[in-house]
Structure 1
Amino acid sequence: MTSADIARIRRFARAVTAEVGALDSSFLGRGRPLGAARVLNAIGAGRAEVGEIRTYLGLDSGLMSRLLRNLEDEGLVATAPHPADARRRIASLTEAGEREYEAYEALSDARAVALLERAPQPDALLRAMDRVALALGRDAITIVEADPAGSAARACLAAYYTELATRFAGGFDVALSCDPEAGDLVRPRGAFLLAVADGPPVGCVGLKGRGGPAAEIKRLWIDPAARGLGLAKRLMHEAQRVARDLGVRTLRLDTNSALPEALKLYRTLGWVEIDRFNDDPYPDHFFEKAL
């Protein structure tokens, strides 16, 4: 790394610090600094256990206690012992806290809109933001089971189909593909997994089963901004773990030679190429793995 590279990183850090108001004593003009506002936001967004909030925000216990105490003194937050473990605490917003949370949400949304409106290339800026946020937060990306018919799953699948349409020489029509039924992607037959990055999904994979000893891996996709972070391997390993839980002993999948990174991944993970096992018009490579 050169001195010029370091200077660029530091310039970026200064710009972000100024844009988000990290040094403001009154974040978004609401009378408290960013740290307190972030705690309030975390509680309002559904995080209740104080230890979870502290981990999510990367705060030490002393600072977390001070921020909570200040919010309690303002009448915005109430804390109580966890009903199952008195050593843990649960935080909740009061009515005044709910109003303050909504005010912050409106102001933050307005600031985001204003930033994009003044950007000469808003789409490019959003893509760059995605890459930075995912690179910095890669350790916080989680794998969760989700409803294959839910909005998050549908968003991932729509992006996946759009990418296939651009990468396959003859395009892609999901109606011609062996698209799995949603019922085959939920327990006890199968599962649908999402890679989630602080809310939005950035990847998916389906485990298509029919209740027997064999199942298929379907619809593995990673958001372009999250590629290179090892998420495809994580999703595949988790799909295999779920398959074992469901009693599956053999997994199969298919792919297309227009997706060389997929071929490389499967071979690296120990999948063995086999003969065609379906009549889907799109795949030209077929793999199997014994669990």
Structure 2
Amino acid sequence: MTSTTVLRRFNRTYTQRIGALDESFLGLGMPLASARLLFEIGTTQPVTVQELRARLGLDSGYVSRLLRGLESRRLVALSPDPADRRRRVAALTAEGARLLEDLDERSDDLAARLLEPLSERQRARLADALATADLLVRAATIAFEVVDPASPDARLAMGHYFAELDRRFEGGFDPGPLTEADLATMRPPGGTFVLARSDGEVVACGGVQALGDGVGEVKRMWVDDGWRGAGLGARMLRRLEDDAAALGHSVVRLDTNATLTDAIALYERSGYAAVERYNDNPYAQRWFEKPLTAPAASARSPRG
């Protein structure tokens, strides 16, 4: 049985048993889509309509219709965003908050009923399997996006990268000031900066800068701790290599610290060979290089 067949069968089984096909999800008098939107608003309110669309992967017209339905039941209130009055912010009303509590209770009861016939060992197996499935399905739907390295999301991702190095390096890590000159190296024509998003949230990043003579360098590659083991680091590295080749680089280099053993293992698995020191980075202890294959004519542009 192929993985595609298994996934489709699981989807049919699961959607039927949790009531996703019912017009009244869990007897709440609304379909699953409306209940899910209510949950998303209540989890991180206030939240902009734009954020809801990105998080759920829904088009603006459908989200607007769902919101109108929740508004008509006085479950959600919409107002202008104080930070940008062109945007709308959604928040639960008191009645909406009560319904969300009811939704949580009914969801817990349904989960308990589904698990009740299973032994403790079977429940543990199911929990592990579902956690793995959740991570891998989300990994399969990651969206990569080229952004300006000076953008707020890019700076946020690099902040996570610097914080991780500070935690892991003996003696900490001081990146120094992030200057415009530093950021400019990760812009075309010789560089790029890429974010990976899941449900609108930034979960990985990486950049490429030119070293000259057809040589590019991978910089500031970071993957959120919650995504370890999902292969996202390898995918981000391949994306950066593809973009480096599209920018005209024939070789890509990178440096790392000896404490980052997981990163070193990734580089070695990905075909990088150890080379002599090529820079003056005081935190670098290992240096690697890999020849690149020119991208096919149909390959995506590093600009998007």
What SS is found at the alignment partner of 1:182?
helix
Contact 2:139 2:232 in 1 (8 A): no
Equivalent-residue separation in structure 2 for 1:38 and 1:284 (angstroms): 48
Number of residue-to-residue matches in the alignment: 221
Equivalent positions of 1:84-99 (< 5 A) are 93=64, 97=68
Query: 1:143 is matched with which residue?
Result: 144
Equivalent-residue separation in structure 2 for 1:146 and 1:241 (angstroms): 16
Equivalent-residue separation in structure 2 for 1:234 and 1:207 (angstroms): 15
Q: TM-score, normalised by structure 1?
A: 0.61
Q: Which amino acid aligns with 1:284?
A: Q
Equivalent positions of 1:139-218 (< 5 A) are 139-175=140-176, 181-209=182-210, 213-218=214-219
Query: 2:259 is matched with which residue?
Result: 258
Query: 2:233 is matched with which residue?
Result: 232
Equivalent-residue separation in structure 2 for 1:178 and 1:251 (angstroms): 23
Equivalent positions of 1:117-128 (< 5 A) are none
Query: 1:34 is matched with which residue?
Result: 32
What SS is found at the alignment partner of 1:277?
coil
Residue 32 and residue 195 in structure 1: after superposition, are their counterparts in 2 closer, same or farther (change >3 A)? same
Show structure 1 runs of 4+ deviating over 4 A: 21-24, 36-41, 108-112, 130-133, 176-180
Equivalent-residue separation in structure 2 for 1:99 and 1:211 (angstroms): 57
The answer to whether 1:25 aligns with 2:24 is yes
Tell me by how many angstroms 1:178 deviates: 11
Query: 2:91 is matched with which residue?
Result: 106
Tell me by how many angstroms 1:210 deviates: 6.0
Contact 1:195 1:204 in 2 (8 A): yes
The answer to whether 1:288 aligns with 2:273 is no
Tell me by how many angstroms 1:38 deviates: 5.3
What SS is found at the alignment partner of 1:194?
strand
Residue 56 and residue 166 in structure 1: after superposition, are their counterparts in 2 closer, same or farther (change >3 A)? closer
Equivalent-residue separation in structure 2 for 1:160 and 1:192 (angstroms): 14
Tell me by how many angstroms 1:103 deviates: 3.2
Contact 2:34 2:70 in 1 (8 A): no
Residue 221 and residue 92 in structure 1: after superposition, are their counterparts in 2 closer, same or farther (change >3 A)? closer
Tell me by how many angstroms 1:35 deviates: 2.2
Equivalent-residue separation in structure 2 for 1:92 and 1:229 (angstroms): 30
Q: Which amino acid aligns with 1:203?
A: A
**Identity fraction in percent:** 33
Cα root mean square deviation, aligned: 4.5
Contact 1:183 1:189 in 2 (8 A): no
Contact 1:131 1:225 in 2 (8 A): no
Q: Which amino acid aligns with 2:289?
A: E
